[in-house]
Structure 1
Amino acid sequence: MATVRLIYFDGRGLGEGVRFMLAACGIEFTDIMLEERQEYEKLLEDGKLLFKQVPLLEIDGLELVQTSAIVRYIARKGGLYGHSNEESAKIDMFYEGTRDFFSYFLKIGFQDPTEVLERAKSKGLSRYLPIFDQALKKNGTGFLVGSAMSLADVGLIEALLSVTEYFGEDTLSDYPSLKAFNTMMVSQERIAAFLKSPQKKGGNTDAYVATCRKVLELDI
């Protein structure tokens, strides 16, 4: 059994980006699924959740929370964080942009799906698809930064997979650099294996939403 453990829910949410990064870096991990409020309270009592939030990643003797800190640690460990301070800064910039983009899809199931997807289409797609298409075109290597896959690319493919899942692959037809990027990334050996594995989670199900609300006592 892998010694790396990801404690989250049986769904995408903020945990999916962590799963993507672990897979992209070839790091085996075990999913620990929160199902009951008492499990979450036990993590709090044990001092494992510094900011009273999940996901929690246990790796290399560390207990890491805050998703951005987690994925950056994984990226550095796996060599997906650039080869200079300049590249790392650009990777950070693009990665944060992918999080803004992906945030349009996080509330599916927690709010009316039709309204969420309409906002994603009218505001998210129209804003971010041109930005990332031009960035890929300008860099000219197939990747957002440098000539190799980085944290930024993993963040972007996570967002694009939600785009194509909910709106169809034709959505990328007017963005040739993004379309080529999407095809290339899903063909990467580790990414392709992850997408076929049970650790890749489906869309936000009613059961996932109900569990999140119960465990975290959410009022949304």
Structure 2
Amino acid sequence: MSEKVVLYYFNGRGKMESIRWLLAVAGVEFEEVYLTTEEQFRKLVNDGALLFHQVPLVEMDGMKLVQTKAILNYIAAKYNLYGKDIKERVMIDMYSDGVRDVMDMIMVLPFTPADQKQKQLDKIQEKAKERSLPAYEKALADSQFLVGSQLSCADVHLLEATLMLEELFPTILSTFPKIQDFQKRMKVIPAIKKFLQPGSQRKPPPDEVYVKTVMSVLSFIFK
């Protein structure tokens, strides 16, 4: 197994994007293997690389890691992005899971039938404005970071999520000044600034090619 970190996923965001973000912020270089055929996926399954027959798959530290949350928690713990004690970690988990709820809703949008997309957009916007963003605005009222006195994976996930929301709803943060200030602070962190530049391993919003590839690779699931 390669000593380098290797990511196995599609050439697009999906569940791997948060992993890319966290590795980038931790300053970890990684390679990617893009799945483009059903045969590639089935080979990973047959080789025993996919514990639950699902991607993302990350080869790291001599392990083949699956399950997004487990991968993110491992990276965060290894690179000091997971708080100083168990109480901070549980708060980080709470904020991270709250962000993930919104991102999961956005992830399914490209796969939503055209006649249902507006309904899904409305649900995303309502949940973000009425439930999620107010919680993060309050958390940032008197603190530079969501939890404790240093950067954590929860902060990285929040930045990723708010940028995704702004792609869909450009003015959604207009009534959340603390989150706007938070974004500005985060964007000047060198590793994040680099990841936000053109040519980085950050993926663009999903397009039709990405959707068709995913559907093709996982076609056996939809039969």
- Choose 70-79 or 183-192, whichever is displaced more: 183-192
Aligned equivalent of 1:119: 123
Aligned equivalent of 2:162: 160
Letter in 2 for 1:176: P
Letter in 1 for 2:128: G
- Between the two proteins, the alignment pairs up a number of residues equal to 217
Superposition deviation, residue 135 in structure 1: 1.1
Letter in 2 for 1:152: A
Q: Which runs of 5+ in 2 are unaligned?
A: none
Q: Matches of residues 39-118 of structure 1 in structure 2 within 5 Å?
A: 39-111=40-112, 112=114, 113-118=117-122
- TM-score under structure 2 normalisation? 0.93
- 1:136 and 2:137 aligned: no
In 2: Cα distance, 1:29 partner to 1:147 partner: 28
In 2: Cα distance, 1:93 partner to 1:130 partner: 15
Contact 1:10-1:34 within 8 A present in 2 as well:
yes
Aligned to 2:143, the other structure's residue is in SS state coil
Identity of aligned residues (%): 40
Superposition deviation, residue 2 in structure 1: 7.5
Superposition deviation, residue 219 in structure 1: 3.3
Give CA-to-partner distance per residue, 1:69-88, whole Å, 9 cap, x none: 00111101111001111111
Aligned equivalent of 1:216: 218
Q: Which runs of 5+ in 1 are unaligned?
A: none
Aligned equivalent of 1:207: 209
- TM-score under structure 1 normalisation? 0.94
In 1: Cα distance, 2:207 partner to 2:147 partner: 34
In 2: Cα distance, 1:2 partner to 1:211 partner: 28
Superposition deviation, residue 34 in structure 1: 0.5
Superposition deviation, residue 198 in structure 1: 3.4
Letter in 1 for 2:121: L
Contact 2:137-2:176 within 8 A present in 1 as well:
yes
Letter in 1 for 2:153: L
Superposition deviation, residue 123 in structure 1: 2.7
